Amino acid sequence: MANVLIIDDDQATCTMLCDLVKHVNNMAVSAQTLAQGVQMAMSGNFDVVFLDVCMPDGSGLDVMKDILETEFPPEIIVMTGMGDSDGAEQAIRNGAWEYIQKPLSPKKIIQPLDLVLKYRNNISLADRSDRILDRVGIVGESPRIQESLSTVAKASQSLSNVIITGETGTGKELFARAIHTNSNRCGSRFVVVDCAALPENLVESALFGHEKGAFTGADKASEGLVGLANGGTLFLDEVGEMNLNLQKAFLRVLQERRYRPVGSRREVASDFRLVAATNRDLPDMVKQGLFREDLLYRLDAISLHLPPLRIRVEDLPDLVTQLSAKSYAALGVEPKRISQDFLSALSGYHWPGNVRELVNVLDASINNAYYEPELYSKHLPERIRITMARSAVAPVPRREKTPISPPFAEPRGSVMPRVSEKEAESHIPLPDFKAYRVSELNRIEKRYLQKLVRTSRGNIKEACAISGLSRTRLYTLLRKHSIDRMGWDANV
């Protein structure tokens, strides 16, 4: 018997779904606000959550991450009456099992419910050995990193191609090495191909090798990077930088696992496992004709998206401890204490360069505090301190002086007749109630968030204390409304 939670603002829908779920011998309870639903989901042991998108206190899509961060997360089936394709994409990206459109029918509910329960039952019955994952230096216990490590564990047991995406500096090569190290190919080579640095005139030779005398300067035969990866893992870093001709050539290599070295008449086989990485939007490049769609399908068998550092700041203390140890060893200095002031400053920064930038910042900070026993925010590089200082100062908007007109005076040269507010409203078509409510709630929500970050001067910790929101929830809402750390609309 499974436990099911229905989160929907319509009482009739909740009653219908509860009755339907109970009819097939399961337990069901309901909530009619997101706040109540999330609280119940995080405190109860639920197998499935039916989640409505448009709720009186926000969007169901925005709380999915909170629900899925519980210790034993339920599967989420998203319901909507809007028919929004972008919402469907966001739901799947956020971890939904399925996205179904209202009006609901017994078949629409029972079919995905049965599939979810069979899936969870298979997981519970599966023989899961307590295999320890070799992290190869990956640091962090945040939910996003745990989710990424779970994908690494699954990918390491597979032979499928893997595509790792994420911003610059998030550790794509490190995660690729983790997949290789935990696979049964760990005894063979992990070969890195930097697609952005391949010499254009020798790219095929670098990848596929060449015979002696194949071109000027080829005084001996070369195996090539693809050949070196035989039996191991071939890592294509910055795969989005491949030109279209190379993409075409590499597509055949992926399909056949065979290639012809430059100047050779014979084909050579290479049994490699492919892992690719990019910080670019490959689907968008496909639309622009810059990346082959068939190659993208080949690469994207298993997807791993790495989170930016700014949304997993809870990992900063562990990252600082590990990364600073390398700096101490390189500089030959004694380890230093880390003040709370230093950690708070790091947590408040937006980290456009992610972990790679953090490494450089720690190196510079330790060097600045060379003879001192403890790190403070004053030891941070000047550019970091300036960026944070600027973000903490809310600009005072200038007030334009306007000429004072006599009360009830008509604008000079006006020929427009007066229209009462009631008459003006009568000409505006009345929108759908639910759409109007969502629009107004979003408007109010955005105004509150803008005032919140200005009041807290961009300090996320203080903003959380004022609002009662968790850090994860606050970041989600700020991204939803495109609000930067000063409270201004980032789209303007």
Domains and CATH numbers, the chain: 3-124 (3.40.50.2300), 143-212+221-307 (3.40.50.300), 310-392 (1.10.8.60)
Chain segment 263-292, per-residue pLDDT in tens: 888 999 999 999 999 999 999 999 999 999
Our measurement of the distance from residue 110's CA atom to the centroid of its chain's CA atoms, rounded to an integer in Å, reads 31
The answer to whether the CB of 379 falls within 8 A of the CB of 365 is yes
pLDDT value for 485: 56
Mean pLDDT of 221-232: 92
Mean pLDDT of 51-76: 87
Give the residue carrying structure tokens 């204390």. 465
Mean pLDDT of 144-155: 91
Mean pLDDT of 355-360: 95
Question: Is 90 exceeded by the pLDDT of residue 309?
Answer: yes
Mean pLDDT of 210-223: 84
Whole-number Å distance between alpha carbons of 49 and 94: 14
Kindly tell me the number of DSSP H helices and DSSP E strands found in the chain.
Answer: 20, 16
C-alpha distances (whole Å) from 360 to each of 330, 332, 335, 353 are: 13, 17, 17, 10
pLDDT value for 191: 96
Q: The whole model's pTM is what?
A: 0.64
Question: Is 80 exceeded by the pLDDT of residue 8?
Answer: yes
pLDDT value for 384: 87
Chain segment 379-411, per-residue pLDDT in tens: 999 988 888 787 766 555 555 555 544 444 444
pLDDT value for 411: 47
The tokens of 371 are what? Answer: 């003879």
Q: List the one residue out of 75, 15, 67, 76 whose CA is nearest residue 41.
A: 67
For 161, residues 6+ apart whose C-beta sits below 8 A from its C-beta are 254, 273, 274, 275, 276, 298, 299, 300, 301, 302
The tokens of 88 are what? Answer: 């469907």
pLDDT value for 408: 41
The answer to whether the CB of 152 falls within 8 A of the CB of 178 is yes
Q: Give the Cβ contact number of residue 399 at 10 Å.
A: 6
Is the dihedral angle over the CA atoms 474, 475, 477, 478 positive or is it negative? positive
Q: List the one residue out of 110, 168, 171, 124 whose CA is nearest residue 144.
A: 171
Whole-number Å distance between alpha carbons of 296 and 290: 11
Q: How many Cα atoms occupy the beta-carbon half-sphere of 8 within 13 Å?
A: 24
pLDDT value for 228: 95
Q: List the one residue out of 101, 116, 108, 106 whose CA is nearest residue 48.
A: 116
Mean pLDDT of 365-380: 93
Helices (H), 417-467: 421-426, 433-455, 460-467
Which range scores top for mean pLDDT: 76-80, 215-219, 441-445? 76-80
Question: Is 80 exceeded by the pLDDT of residue 378?
Answer: yes
Q: What is the mean pLDDT of the chain?
A: 84
C-alpha distances (whole Å) from 5 to each of 56, 106, 113, 274, 455 are: 18, 16, 12, 41, 37
Burial class (CB in 10 A: 0-12, 13-18, 19+), 239: buried
Give the DSSP H/E element, type plus range, for residue 3. Answer: strand 3-7
Q: List the one residue out of 484, 171, 194, 128 whose CA is nearest residue 305.
A: 171
Whole-number Å distance between alpha carbons of 309 and 170: 7
Mean pLDDT of 432-458: 78
Whole-number Å distance between alpha carbons of 490 and 148: 29
pLDDT value for 458: 78
The tokens of 105 are what? Answer: 């029918």
pLDDT value for 131: 59
The answer to whether the CB of 471 falls within 8 A of the CB of 460 is yes
Question: Is 70 exceeded by the pLDDT of residue 352?
Answer: yes
Question: What b/e sequence results for 334-373 when a residue is b if at least 16 CB atoms lie within 10 Å of its CB, and e otherwise?
Answer: eebebeeebbebbbbbebebbbebbbebbbbbbeebeeee
pLDDT value for 233: 97
Mean pLDDT of 237-262: 91
Question: Is 60 exceeded by the pLDDT of residue 190?
Answer: yes
Chain segment 106-137, per-residue pLDDT in tens: 888 999 999 998 888 876 655 444 458 899 99
Which of the four pLDDT bands, split at 50, 70 and 90, describes residue 431?
low
